[in-house]
Structure 1
Amino acid sequence: MTEKPLKIMYFSPIAGDEAHDAIFADMARDNKLPGTEVHVTSLPASEGGFTHIEFRSYEAMVTRGIVRAARAAAREGFDAFAIGCFYDTALHDAREVSGDMIVTAPCVASCEIAASLSNRFGVIVGRRKWVHQMQSTVHEHGHRDRLAGFYHVELGVNEFQADHAETGRRLIEAGRKAVEEDFAEALILGCTMEVGFYQEVERRLGVPVIDPSIAALKRAEYAAILKRQCGWKPSRKWSCEAPSEEEMARFGGFDDGEAFGTRVIVPADEAGPARRAA
């Protein structure tokens, strides 16, 4: 009997559109394994028209949508769910209601991968505004002693894809400082909208460069494989305890309305140019 495909959801906690969805569908197509089906999804219009969540107040507003999306994805039978924001917004909250589905996010996934490739890594971020929160997140994930520093390029989330040449120049400049002045041995791009730049930065600087959207997707995929092959499911003991179904139903708000806005499906048998050429 043919084994059913792994099902991974990559969820962007913003209001998706055709251009946004195409970027991440191409990312998934080029990097997923054969036999993995990926759904690229986003917030429904009822949760607001956010194009980024750079501010904590914006994060607070979309957290409900992330929790509802994770719960809906688990009910649809997804093996893993990746939250597409480097703040790892609502990571622990979404895990509580995800059942046996794996939940991960770009910062925790990128740090795990960077730590497996180097002793010290730097994180290139868009704006100085982000550093305080991201530093706390990296420390929470246990990588305080591996962190060489944060290097901002003064670009907002919506600006990374506007001028690729200028974005690339700024990323390389920041990465050079991290590597040559602070001795970082690997780099993480600290925004999912930096997708598509890691290979050129890596080529120019000679160290591993982690694209966080790819990291989140691949970490989700790997965890789903381990769950299927080894039976390693998420814990629901102690700090990982889930709320009861009875109480969630009584409180309301967890299952109301649409959980997703746009959705693009990358089939299990579909591969992009990078994968077909491999």
Structure 2
Amino acid sequence: MAHAPVKIMYLNPIGHSGDDVIFADMAREHKLPGTEVHVASLPPNDGAFTHIEYRSYEAIVTRGIIRAVRAAAREGFDALAIGCFYDTALHDAREISGEMVVTAPCFASCEIAVSLANRFGVIVGRRKWVDQMEGNVRDYGHGARLSGFYHVELGVNDFQTDHDRTAQCLLDAGRKAVEEDYAEALILGCTLEVGFYAELEKLLGVPVIDPSIAALKRAEYAALLKRQCGWIPSRKWSCEAPPEEEIARFGGFDDGEAFGNRIVVEATSAVGEAA
């Protein structure tokens, strides 16, 4: 018997929609046939950032992320991925996500890396990012498996300025991680383009995890487990959701448009049908 498609939202947590098409193409290539993916960015009035490399930028967009997550849960999405390797507002978003699973790139990439290897490294753009990202990895319980963070001193916008230089920087960082620090898998904390991970894998001889693909697939997997096994997010103790009465009284959670741009990548078959 056919069932409704699994619905995943990939949330680009900035008010700039320039990368939405890239994420939609990624979803189209990697999702399962029975999965429908919505790639959405925040409204421009939440801050038309092209990146959120700074904690102050994260603070500005966090309200938009919370509103978007709440709106997606009300629309009936099975899972949502917050598309920033800082995992911005991940724990905050989970509080108000209802039965919708919420994940993010660093969390998802680490889960996949430790299923493939005993020791992994993370390649990132700037030294600025390392303290916060390394703190997340350790908070997730993977500190003992971490070979290190390898920064290439390129900001998010810099990655697209000179593709050849960016590719060489990532390759050099990967070689240091694998050949000097014995990393058995690598995570790209920021990448040149979706699909570039495969080129690095050929050159370095270890699994290289693209964070956007990891976040999408981990969200999809969690959604399937929820449907097939009944494993829905807990709302007890530290996961307790705020009271709806207070949300209504305080305001700000449901005002205005939660999303700016949105691209829908449709399912090509219903769940339960042959692809």
Normalising by the residue count of structure 1, what TM-score does the alignment of the two structures yield?
A: 0.95
1:268 aligns with 2:244: no
Match of 1:162 in 2: 161
Question: Structure 1 residues 110, 152: CA separation in 2 closer, same or farther (over 3 Å shift)?
Answer: same
Contact residue 122 and residue 150 of structure 1 kept, 8 A? yes
CA deviation after TM superposition for structure 1 residue 269, in Å = 1.1
- 1:234-273 equivalent positions in 2, closer than 5 A: 234-269=233-268
The answer to whether the aligner puts 1:62 opposite 2:71 as a matched pair is no
- What's the CA shift for 1:163? 2.7
Distance 1:105-1:129 versus aligned 2 partners, 3 A rule: same
Q: Name 1:180's counterpart in structure 2.
A: 179
Range moving further from structure 2, 252-261 or 191-200? 191-200
- Distance in 1, matches of 2:214 and 2:141, equals 17
Tell me what 1:13 maps to.
Answer: 13
Aligned to 2:2: 2
Superposed counterparts of 1:9-88, under 5 Å: 9-17=9-17, 19-88=18-87
Counterpart AA for 2:180: E
1:268 and 1:236 map into 2 onto residues whose CA distance is 30
Structure 1 contact 85–192 (Cα < 8 Å) conserved: no
Q: Which segments of 5 or more consecutive residues in structure 2 lack a partner in the other structure? A: 270-275
8 A Cα contact 2:166 2:192, kept in partner:
no
Aligned mates of 1:101, 1:160 — CA distance in 2: 33
Q: Which residue in 2 is equivalent to 1:136?
A: 135
- Given that residues 121 and 185 in structure 1 are in contact (C-alpha distance below 8 angstroms), is that contact kept between their aligned partners in structure 2? yes
Q: Which amino acid aligns with 2:4?
A: K
Code of the residue aligned with 2:175 in structure 1: it is R
Moved over 3 A (4+): none
Supply the AA of the counterpart residue of 1:256: D
- AA aligned opposite 1:75: R
Question: SS state of the match for residue 91, structure 2?
Answer: helix
Please state whether the residue corresponding to 2:161 is helix, strand or coil.
Answer: coil
Where 1:160 maps in the other structure, the secondary structure is helix
Query: Aligned partners of 1:103, 1:185: CA distance in 2, in Å?
Result: 28
> Higher mean Cα deviation, 43-52 or 115-124?
43-52
Structure-2 separation of matches of 1:87 and 1:191: 10
Percent pairwise identity:
76
* CA contact 2:33–2:268 (8 Å) conserved in 1: yes
What's the TM-score, normalizing by structure 2? 0.96
Instruction: Mark the CA change 1:193 to 1:164 in structure 2 (over 3 Å): closer, same or farther.
Output: closer
CA separation of 1:13/1:193 partners in 2, compared to 1, >3 Å: closer, same or farther?
farther
Distance (Å, rounded) in 2 between the aligned partners of 1:194 and 1:155: 14
Alpha-carbon distance in 1 for matches of 2:193, 2:137? 18
Question: Tell me, which stretches of 5 or more residues in structure 1 are unaligned?
Answer: 271-278
CA distance in 2, matches of 1:86, 1:249: 31
**1:269/1:163 Cα in 2 relative to 1: closer, same or farther (>3 Å)?**
farther
1:194–1:151 CA distance, 2 compared to 1 (3 A): farther
- Matched residue type, 1:151: Y
2:99 matches 1:100: yes
Deviations 1:8-65 (A, max 9, x none): 0000111233x41111111101100011000000110120111100000000111000
Cα distance in 2, alignment partners of residues 192 and 224 from structure 1: 26
Q: Deviations over 1:147-177 (max 9, x none)?
A: 0000011111112233322221111110000
AA paired with 1:102? V
Separation in 2, partners of 1:251, 1:120: 46
Mapped to 2, the partners of 1:266 and 1:231 lie a distance apart of 25
